[in-house]
Each structure stands twice: as structure tokens, then as C-alpha cells.
Amino acid sequence: MLPDEADVLLVQDNPLEVELTLRPLRDLDPACRIGVARDGEEALDYLLGRGAFRHRLGAPLPRLVLLDLKLPRVDGVEVLRALRASPRASAAPVVMLVPVSEPRELAQCYQVGANSCVQKPVDFDAFYETIQTVGRYWLGQNLAPPAAAGQRGSGAVGR
Amino acid sequence: MDATLAGLIDGIPPEQLAIAAAAAALLALVLLVALGRQVGRTRRAQRAEAAARGHLRTVTATMREGIIAYDMKLELIFANPAFEQLTGYPEEDLRDQEFLQYIHPDDRPALTAEWERLERGGSLRDQEYRVVTRGGQERWSSSSWEPLRDEVGRQIGYLGTEFDITERKLAEEAMRLDTELFQAMIEVQQSVAAAGLDSRTMMRVIADRGLRLTGASGSVIESIEGDELVPQVHIGASAPRLRLADSLSGLCVRTGELQRSDDVLSDPRIGHDAYREAGIRSLLAVPLKDEQRILGVLKVVSSRPKAFTDRDAKALRLLGGLMGAALGHAAAYEGRQLRLEERTRSLQESEQRFKQLVDVAQEGIWVADDRGVITYVNQRMAELLGYQNGAMLGRRVYDFIDAASRAGAQRTLTRPSASGGESRDLRFLRHDGGELWGLVSASPIVSREGGLAGTVGMVTDITERKRAEERLRRSAERLAILHDMGQAILAARSPAEIGRAALGRIRRMVPCQRCSIVLFDFPKRQALLVAGYAGGNPISTTPIPLDTLSPGDVLRRGTVRYVEDIATLESPPPIFRQLMEDGLRSALSVPLLADGEAIGEVNLAATAASAFDSEHRDIALEVAAPLAIAIQHARLRDDLAQKSSELERRVAERGAALRSATAELETLLYSVSHDLRAPVRHIGGFAELLLRDGGPGLDPAVRHYASRIREGASRMAGMLDDLVQLSRLGRQDMLRRPVDLNTLVEDVVSLLQSETAERLIDWVVEPLPTLECDPALAKIAIVNLVSNAIKFTRTRARASIRIKPVRAEDQDGIAVQDNGVGFKMAHVGKLFALFQRLHRPDEFEGDGAGLAFVQRIAQRHGGRVWAESEVDGGSTFYITFGGPDVRHAS
């Protein structure tokens, strides 16, 4: 599920949800490389190149991280906080997928550095449209950070 | 999945409703209790006044004293029946009268001048004034005025008690006249005894006395000369010579009897015009006689018709009698130079005449020397004190006077005032040990040298009056007790406090060394001491078995029990043995009856045998009656307080249960609305993918079912959004501020109007209130209501929507009225429940959440929603937001 290089990293534990989220992205661009992390830890390991993904250390960041708010073990906000704190991957564009727009949760997401927050509609047609809109923008219009942009501070210079 | 979800949601409202309904019922009960107190606080003044009025009206209904009460604004609160008897004015007439109008205008200022003391909470006692009755008569009243207070002691008005003392006043007046008369007689007597006075001087004294005693404007003494009456002395009026033949004086001489004319102008017996010329209208004439002859006439005249009373006639008759003798004596003395013996005899005759006169008097008369030793008593005096006439002679007058009155007596008798008008109430001791209350006046006997030779005392029996006054005092005391008890009830005192107050009253009126109030507890067969005194000290005991007092059946009967002498009882109950050991001999028990049931008794005991009489029993009974009511009241109140605190506890418990149930439901609602989102999306998502990916070759049945699943999931998606919304309405912070609903409604209407441009809708928006509410929530509620109105008038060619203010239960709000399809009022209960719809989806779209939102918003504001409608007759929906229009509720 996790190629060494991915355009999109989807962080989602529910396989049904994964399948339904991949579909609109695939329909948008069948060539798109999508990685799926099943929980927050795996996502961090992948992005930060540690644990099982030590070999990815220094690999390019995905152009879009679709991070679900509710995750087992380490939840979405914690993943984002760790990500933004890491010199290696702080610049990764992260879109938070939230079940409903709870003001308190939204505030928290933005506070720890979400690039965008999107509510997942229950109705599939609406959901499909939403995911495609997100993909179209972040993979199409949005200019991704340069390869070295995520590398900040002395650690980055030293690499 | 559908079934589960529906089950969950369906399950919410009924359970919540059931708990809420139970809690509401309990709360209503508590509120009633609390409301009672609240009303008491906010309307205390009116309530206290009404209670005082009702209470006083009851207790004063049978009293013999007139009772009248004014409030602080000097408006009549009430007057009792006895007051009507005194004044002749029924209560309703008094209500139309000025304050204190029933009091004689001359006497009123004296009372109102003192009124300030009442206003400061003091009292006015022993005020005597004249009352003018409805019939125009004057009656005398002795009154006392007290502040009227409510149960917390605050003054709410004035309470007057009026005793009718007209009889006493008349008696006093008569007494005063008698005293004057008697003084006159003594003076005459002294004149005779002195014998140094010439007859003219003596006549002048008599004429003067006659004038003063009768209140005449003139007096004359005429002597007979031939066929004429010639004035010898005249005071205050001209005195023409009159003929014996055609004058009333002449008639007096001819008949030897008193003559009286109430109006000389129309009196046929008078044949001359002398009186008319002198302006005289009425007269009294008595003959002056010695033993054989008529010497002349004593006459008093007045410029008023009907000026003389029977009393005046009596006075003049006595004066005339004495004067005649004196004149005869003087004439003889002057004419013949009486020998000493003759003079003495004449003097004795005169004294004899005087004695005859005083012996038949209604008053007791005594004469004492300068040391107070009795030298003479008349028959009446001896009778009054129950002695043989001679037995009192030679004893000091003070010996016959009660020790408590003696000091006062000495003052009166040794410093007799010259006028003789001063009188005093003294208590005499009768020979048989009884009492005699006498109104006593004393006159000096002046020796020829001008010193005090002794006193003449005169006694009117006022024992009855004194007893009547004592009865009045008692009934005033009884009124005080009733008032105490009433106040105790109003002030919500405990049984013990009420009992102590009652015993205090009883001890003042009934001589007893021990007293107690016990309450019976028949189920436990115990008697509980409420209050008690031994000597002056409070006593307390633990409950004692009922049998100690008396066999239970006797107590239940609620009868008065009186044991004259405990020592004579053959087998006394234990309590009596105890009393006997403590030196008590007689015991009186009166029952406390509440609704005919004996709830306890008042026990009195005294060290003397036969210490109590029927009056003591009556007093005890009179105290017991209101006491029983007061105690019963106090017990009921305690009971109620206990029940209400029990109720409050249960409500608190149910309230806690309700809160936790509500919290659980909120949690459930939240998780349902959040956690079901993904599964529902998956169901719809995969059905959709099945349809897309299946392509044209997909089995038509599969395609059909997949579509149905898609639709179901889609609908559920909408419902989940509604649930999220509802959950949020319940949790969201409220920001209350004054919101002008005119502006808000204008916004909503213009927003919705733009969406209904193709429809023909008559909008009417009436002026709306400004309310304290959360503007965002209020807007959601109003949008929903107005949207519904638009939706359900869709079938009308010309829709009509009216938005107007509404007021219910002191809350303001708005109403949205339409001319749409309406609904059956039978279904109104379902209307505001979540996902309840009264129309088929193909008639009107929607999933039945909007009115649930509206209701939730109203509830969060402490307001409410309701609706009125009829099928095809339009609907009106109402919402309030928990408060009044802030523009009015300054």
C-alpha cells in the first residue's frame, strides 16, 4: 500500500473508507501514485523516514497528505503536530478530513498547522465530488513546496 | 441498520418525555408550596391585612365591646356587630364616612391630637368621648386604641375598642348633682344652726343653689303679701310682682305642690305676659312651707323651653323643703326673739327634718368628726354595708374601707374640696365579708370659726358597675388571648411557643400553682408535654403514658374534668398521686378540641381545695379553643413542611436522574450523528460504485436494488446531518442579548422572498417585540417557521403569511400564521418530535427535523412552542423565548 514515492498520502484506518476515497482520486488521474497509511504512527514513520521506512529518509514528500481527524493510536491532530515539529517534513501540504464541522476541532487543526480542512459528506455523490475537488486543486493548481523546502534548520543544511 | 437507527431515535423522545413529565408533575407540586411562600412574601401586606381582617372579624363577632379597625391610610378595615349596636351605624355606612366621624365633633380633636402616639406604635388608653349615634343621640364611650400588627409585628393599622359607659356617665352626673344638693342642704343646715344669718342672706344662698343645681338662667324667692307674690331675692332674671290668681307661682301656693312649665308661652295656666316680656320660656316653682303655712315660692326660670328635668324638680323640691323650715325658723327667731329652749327645739326639729330627708335618700350618707369617727350614718349607709344602724357609730370610717382603698380614702376625706364635685371609687368591706364598691364624695363641715369640724360623706353603690367593668376587663383580656392565638397562627410559631403564650395568659387570670398543656398521641398511648409551669418555673418531661392522666377513653371524650379535692379521690390516677405529694389539692382539666377530636388538654392545679370556679373553667375553655386551633395549625404546618421537603428531595433525585439521562442522550445523539456517518457513506458509496462499474450489462434487478440502497443511504445521510444540527443546538453556547425581532424577521423574509419570487405571497409583518435571545438560534427557529409557512401554502394560488407578536405566561414571542393546508389538531403532539411528518414525501418534501429544531431552540431559551391549525384552514405556530419584551420590562 505504501510505495516509496507517492503523490498522495491517505491516512485512514477504515478499508472501506480508503476504497471509497481512492476511487474519486483514481478517476481523476489513474496515474496518480497514492499511498495509504493505516494509522498515525505508520503515517509519521513514512513521512519522517523512520522505523520500517528508514530507507525513505530524504525521499520527496507527497504533494498532498489527506489526514483523517479520527485515527486509532495517534489521532490526526497529533500526527500533524509531530509532522510540523519535524525539520524533515514540516512543509508537507496537509488537508484534514473531518466528519463534521465542529468549531473547536477546526480551530485545533488550524492551530497545529493544517493547510486546509474539509468535511466529508455522508452522501456518496457529495463525498465523491468533494474528494475530487480537493485532488484537483492540490495536485493540479497548487504549487507544491520545492523538494528541499521541508528541510529547515541545521539538520537540513547538514544533510 | 435502518431499523436500528430508527429504533434508537424513536426510543429517545418517549423515555425523555416520561422522565420529564414525572419531574414536571413533582416540580409543580413543589412550586405550589414555594409559590405559596412567594406570594406570601410579595403580597405580604395585603395578605396580612386580609388575614387580620378575617381573623379579627371572627374573634370579635360575639364580643360585647365595639371593635373598629382602620388601616394605615385611615380607611376602615372593619367594625364588629357590637360597634353597630353602640353607634347604630352598620359597617357599610362607616365605610362611606370620614375617619372617626362617629365621634362627637367637639371630642374628636382631643383624640386626633394624640393620634401621633399610635402612629409611633404606642397606644391610647382610657379615652372618654361622646359618640353620636346614627339616630343623633349622644352616648359616652371609654375607648382604647392600639396599633394593629401583622404576624411579623409590623403595624398595618389601628384597632379601637369602645366600651359604652353612658350609664356610668349618667350615674356620675346624677351623683354630682346629688352631691351638690347635699352640700346645699348642709349649708342650709349650717345656716339654720348658725342662726346668725338674716333670712335675706339665707334666701340668697338658696336662690344661688337653686340656680346652680338646675342650670337655670334665673331664680327667685317670692313671699306672699295679700293676693300677690312679691320677689324677695332674685338672681339672673327680672322678677315682677305676680298675682296669686293667674300665675303658676300662685298655683303653687294654692296647691302646695311643685309646678312646672315646659313652655310658658303656650301654658294655659299662666295668665300674664311678664315672662314673655322677660324672655322666659320654662320654669319650675316649689312652695316654701314650714309646719303649717305656705310662706312663699322658690322658682327657677330659663330662657330655653323644656329646660328642666325631673332631676331638677327633685333638687328644687328638696331645697324648697329645707328652705321652708329654715325660713320659718328664721322668721320666728327674728320676730319673737326665741328663748333658748325654743331655739334648741326648733334646731332639733330642723335636724330631724334633715335626718328624715337623708334617711330616705338613695345614697348612703355618713357624718364623721374631724378625726374620722362616725357620728351619724343614714339607713341606706347601714344597709349598704350590712350593719345595724347603731353599730357603725363611734368607729372610724376607714375601718369600713378595704385596705387597698384606704390611702386613697384618706386623701379624699381629709382634703375635701370646697366644690364637693370630686368623687372617688372606694372598696368597702361589708359586715358579711362581701365587697361594696362605692362612688364616694365628701364635703367639709365648717365650724362657726371657719375650721374643719368634720366631713359628710356620700356613697353611691357602684358594685354592679365595678363588676361590669371587671367583666369588660376580662373580655378585653379574652380578646387579647384570641389575638395572641391568631398572631401565633399567622406568625407560624411552634406548638411550644403557642403553648407558653397561652399558659402565660391563663396564669394571669386563673390562680393556679401548676399548669401544663399536653398533647395526646393515642396510637402510642402517650401524652406529650407542650409547655408547663410549676410555680413560676417552666417544667419539662419526657412523654408519659396516657393512663397516667386518666383512662384513655375518658381523654378521648374531650370533657372538662374538675377534681375539687384530690385527697377525697378513692383511687386517683398516678398523676393525681404525684400532685398530692407536691401539695396540690384541686385540679382542673379542659380539653383541646380540634374538629371535635380531643388532641390534648390544659391542666391546672392549685394548692387549695376547690380553688377553681365556673369562671375559671370558662376562661380555661376560652383559651383552650383558639389554642387547640393554633396547635393543630402548627402541627399541620410542620407536617406540610416535612412533606414538602420530602417532595423536594424526591424532585432533586429525579432531577439528578433526569440530568444524567439527558447527558446520556446527548452523548448518544452526538455519537450517533458522528459515528454513523462513515458506515452510511460506505453503504451508499458501494451501491453507487456497483451501479457505475456494473455497466450496461448489469442485471436490471441488481441495478434496481442498488438504486434503492443508494436512495436509502442518501436519505439517512440527510437525517444524520439533521441529528448533528440538533445535537449542536443542544450543546452550543448561548449568547443572549436584546434582539429586535422586527429586524430579524425582515432579514428572514427578504432572504426567503428571493427564493420564492415565482410565488404569489401576501406578507403581513406586524410590529414585533425586542427579546433577550441568541440571535443566531432565534434566526434558525424563525427561518424554519417561515419556511414551513411557505412550503405548506404551496398549493394555494395566493398564499398569505402573517407574522405577529404573541404573549403567553408573561413571555413575549412571535406567531407565524399561514393559510396553508394545515393539519389535524389530533396530531399536534407529534408535530415537534424529530423526524415526525404529517404529510407524505410526495406531497411535501422534508424529513421532519425543522420543528424539532424550533422546539429545541425555544427550550434552550426557557420558552416554548405550540401550534394551532385545522385541516385546509391554515396553521399558526407560536414561539416564545423565555422572557418579556425588554422594552417594557424596565
Cα–Cα distances in angstroms (integers) from residue B518 to residues B502, B527, B636, in the given order: 13, 6, 17
Nearest neighbour of A123 by CB, restricted to B686, B714, B724: B714
Instruction: Give the chain A residue nearest B681 (alpha carbons).
Output: A122
Confidence of residue B42 (pLDDT cuts 50, 70, 90): very low
Q: Is B685 in Cβ contact with A122 (below 8 Å)? A: no
Query: Looking at the partner chain, which of B685, B718, B721 has a beta carbon nearest the beta carbon of A20?
Result: B685
pLDDT for B336 beyond 60: no
B8 vs B45 pLDDT, higher one = B45
CB-CB under 8 Å, B686 with A100: no
Cβ within 8 Å of residue B758, ≥6 positions away: none
For residue A126, list chain B residues with Cβ-Cβ distance below 8 A: 717
Confidence at B491, pLDDT banded by 50, 70, 90: low
Residues of B in contact with A23 (CB under 8 A): 685, 689
**Chain A contact present for B569, CB below 8 A:** no
Nearest-Å Rg of the Cα atoms of chain B is 49
Q: What's the whole-number mean pLDDT along residues B146-170?
A: 78
Per-residue pLDDT, averaged over B783-811, amounts to: 88
What is d(CA B395, CA B373) in angstroms, rounded to the nearest whole number? 5
Q: Read off the C-alpha cell for B284.
A: 319650675
Question: What residues of chain B, 722 to 761, have a C-beta less than 8 Å from chain A?
Answer: 724
Catalogue all structural domains in chain A, each as residue range(s) with its CATH number. Answer: 8-158 (3.40.50.2300)
Contact A40, A74 (CB under 8 A): yes
Closest CA to B217 of B172, B295, B278, B270: B278
Does residue A103 register a pLDDT over 50? yes
Nearest to A20 among B681, B718, B720 (CB): B681
- Partner-chain residue, chosen from A20, A122, A125, that has the shortest CB–CB distance to B721: A122
Give the closest-approach CA distance of A70 to chain B in angstroms: 10
A122 vs B468, higher pLDDT: A122
With CB atoms and an 8 Å threshold, state whether B686 touches A20: yes
Q: What are the beta bridge partners of residue B590?
A: B602
Range with lowest mean pLDDT among B128-137, B313-322, B812-821: B313-322
* Residue keyed to cell 498547522: A113
- Sequence-separated (6 or more) residues with CB below 8 Å from residue B583: B607
Q: Do residue A99 and residue B684 have CB atoms under 8 angstroms apart?
A: no
pLDDT score at B816 = 93
The arithmetic mean of pLDDT across residues B600-624, rounded, is 86
Which chain A residue shows the shortest CA-CA distance from B670?
Answer: A100
Asked whether the beta carbons of residue A100 and residue B677 sit closer than 8 angstroms, the reply is yes
- Nearby residues of B800 by Cβ (< 8 Å), 6 or more positions away: B761, B762, B764, B793, B818, B819, B874
Query: Are residues B19 and B658 in contact, defined by beta-carbon separation less than 8 angstroms?
Result: yes
Whether residues B684 and A16 touch (CB distance < 8 A) is answered with no
**Chain B, 700-719: which have a CB under 8 Å from a chain A CB?**
710, 713-714, 716-718
Please report residues of B whose CB lies closer than 8 A to that of A120. Answer: 677-678, 681
Domains, chain B, ranges and CATH?
A: 65-164 (3.30.450.20), 166-360 (3.30.450.40), 362-487 (3.30.450.20), 488-634 (3.30.450.40), 733-880 (3.30.565.10)
Say whether pLDDT at B32 is over 60.
no
Cβ pair B713:A20 closer than 8 A: no
Window 669-698 of B: residues touching A by CB (8 A cutoff) are 673-674, 677-678, 680-682, 684-689
Within 8 A by CB and 6+ apart from B72, the residues are B155, B156, B157
CB-CB under 8 Å, A124 with B685: yes
Q: Which three cell numbers stand for residue B851?
A: 420543528
Q: Tell me whether strands B799-808 and B761-765 are parallel, antiparallel or unpaired.
A: parallel
Per-residue pLDDT at B446 exceeds 80 = no
> Which tens digits make up the pLDDT trace of B640-662?
778 778 877 887 777 777 777 77
User: Which band of pLDDT confidence, cut at 50, 70 and 90, is reported for residue A64?
Assistant: very high
- Which spans in B397-545 are helix H? 403-414, 463-490, 495-509
pLDDT grade for B481, boundaries at 50, 70 and 90: low
The pLDDT of residue B347 is 56
Contact assignment for B674 to A128 by CB distance below 8 Å: no
Q: What is the pLDDT of residue A127?
A: 93
Average pLDDT, chain A: 85
Work out whether strand B875-880 and strand B811-818 pair parallel, antiparallel, or are unpaired.
antiparallel
Please state, in angstroms and rounded to a whole number, the distance separating the CA atoms of residues B300 and B282: 9
pLDDT higher for B456 or B775?
Answer: B775
The pLDDT assigned to A22 comes to 92
Q: Which of B195-204, B207-216, B247-256, B620-629 has the lowest mean pLDDT?
A: B195-204
Residue A122 with chain B: CB contacts under 8 Å: 677, 680-681, 684, 713, 716-717, 720-721
Mean pLDDT, range A52-70, rounded to an integer: 87
Give the pairing type, strands B138-149 and B155-164.
Answer: antiparallel
Answer whether A121 sits within 8 Å of B685, measured CB to CB.
no
Helical pair B199-214 and B166-194, crossing angle rounded to 10 deg: 180
B724–A17: do the CB atoms touch at under 8 Å? no
B193 CA to centre of own chain: 63
Is A124–B713 a contact, with Cβ atoms under 8 angstroms apart?
yes
Taking Cα atoms as reference points, which of B263, B268, B213, B251 lies closest to residue B235?
Answer: B213
Q: How distant is the Cα of B881 from the closest Cα of chain A, in angstroms?
A: 25
- The nearest CA of chain A is from the CA of B674 a distance in Å of 7
Q: Which residue has the cell 405529694?
A: B581
Give the burial class of A52: count Cβ atoms within 10 A of its Cβ; 0-12 exposed, 13-18 middle, 19 or more buried. exposed
Of A16, A121, A124, the CB nearest to B688: A124
- Tens-digit pLDDT profile for residues B843-882: 777 778 888 888 888 888 888 888 888 888 889 999 998 8
pLDDT confidence of residue B637: 76
Is the CB of A127 less than 8 angstroms away from the CB of B681? yes
Cell of B753: 422572498
Q: In this structure, what C-alpha cell is assigned to residue B700?
A: 436490471
Chain A contacts in chain B segment 821-840 (CB below 8 A): none
Nearest Cα neighbor of A42 from A51, A34, A33, A31 is: A51
Nine-digit cell string for A98 = 473531518
pLDDT score recorded for residue B416 = 47
| Phi, psi values for residue A58, rounded to 5° | 95, -10
Chain B: residue nearest A129 by CA? Answer: B685
Between these two residues, B577 and B829, which has the higher pLDDT value?
Answer: B577
Chain B: nearest CA to A89, how far in angstroms? Answer: 29
How high is the pLDDT of residue A24?
A: 93
Of B677, B682, B710, the CB nearest to A20: B682
